[in-house]
Structure 1
């Protein structure tokens, strides 16, 4: 998961991977916490009485808090930037809970926190009188050519670029999908 969001203008907003930035430090401190846990259990101490365990637990909690604060700050700034610069925002209604079942990608998907980002977009849109349109998750946004409308069919995740066999336009999969989501969102808006 390389990008946090892709706009229909072609702008890609990089995923900063906050957990990965502090992962080594977090692992080191969690290992220390585990050792302090074992020492406390060997000496038959209650964990609440073991001062070294409690100090280390607080260190680990502070790292988790720092990761959370970095992510929240980034999401607030990004959502505010999008809300200020756009009157209508069309987004794909992602099934993030379903995506988390993929054990290879679950950690990365959780780190991106799309659900939190969408929540921030929604409440800020209400504050500023902007409109958010959600496109159904089953809409084949990456399968349709955004230029001629030809539906090319399902593609595996490793195919990042493709060329339309009808109009011969070369597409970046994500940018093409974002253009299709915008077009579908505007179509939904007009239909209502």
Structure 2
């Protein structure tokens, strides 16, 4: 039996309410449904414990450089490794619960293709990026989306989700009024968490603006030329 079916291609992937935009940041993840803390108080306490164990081990190595592997040294090392395992288990639990919730409730998740190596600056910010779980979250969503036949959209690395206004499409540049959005905000209002559009007057949370831009990207509502240069 031959069945002829005519299918009309859609310009957008899905309707906007089927899309979830996920904006990952240092310490938290912002999405349509709110905010997820990736550095919980329990993780902070474990990192402080690890820091204390590292100082103890370093002090023992300095006191006895020739032979410092005593039973006390081995016991502290075991405690430190156990704390590392606890941190990893908490991170895995957070990632899998969040990715499971996203995949079950939204047909089209949208993530950014971040260049993490270029985002690293000083030692303190590097630690924050390493604890941000950027790659591990993307890996979990990728294989779960494949299992459940979801349409995963990876936004272009040069898509200006932070610089673009989600209301009018205005993109902040170095030469434009107010400059680009940096870690300390723009050159007029030094507010990291607030996006101000000087074209339409929109004032919105910076992360919420990025999420709306990712939703528009996945829906095919942004021009291709916007991804040429950030």
Give the alignment's TM-score, normalised by structure 2.
0.71
Distance (Å, rounded) in 2 between the aligned partners of 1:46 and 1:150? 61
4+ runs deviating over 4 angstroms: none
* Total equivalences in the alignment: 184
In structure 2, the gaps of 5 or more residues are 1-24, 174-179, 186-192, 225-230
Give the conservation status (yes or no) of the 8 Å contact 2:53–2:80.
yes
SS at match of 1:22: helix
In structure 1, the gaps of 5 or more residues are none
Higher relative contact order (CA 8 A, sep 6+): 2
Structure 1 residue 101: Cα displacement: 4.1
| Alignment equivalent of 2:46, drawn from 11, 19, 22 | 22
Which structure shows the higher helix fraction? 1
Q: Which moved more, 1:95-104 or 1:22-31?
A: 95-104
| Alignment equivalent of 1:87, drawn from 88, 107, 118 | 107
RMSD across aligned C-alpha pairs, in angstroms?
Answer: 2.4
Distance (Å, rounded) in 2 between the aligned partners of 1:162 and 1:45? 57
Q: Cα 1:59–1:148, aligned 2, differ >3 Å: closer, same or farther? A: same
Q: Deviations over 1:142-191 (max 9, x none)?
A: 22221122223322222221332333222211111111112112219xx9
Give the alignment's TM-score, normalised by structure 1.
0.83
Q: Cα 1:59–1:167, aligned 2, differ >3 Å: closer, same or farther? A: same
| Alignment equivalent of 1:120, drawn from 130, 140, 144 | 140
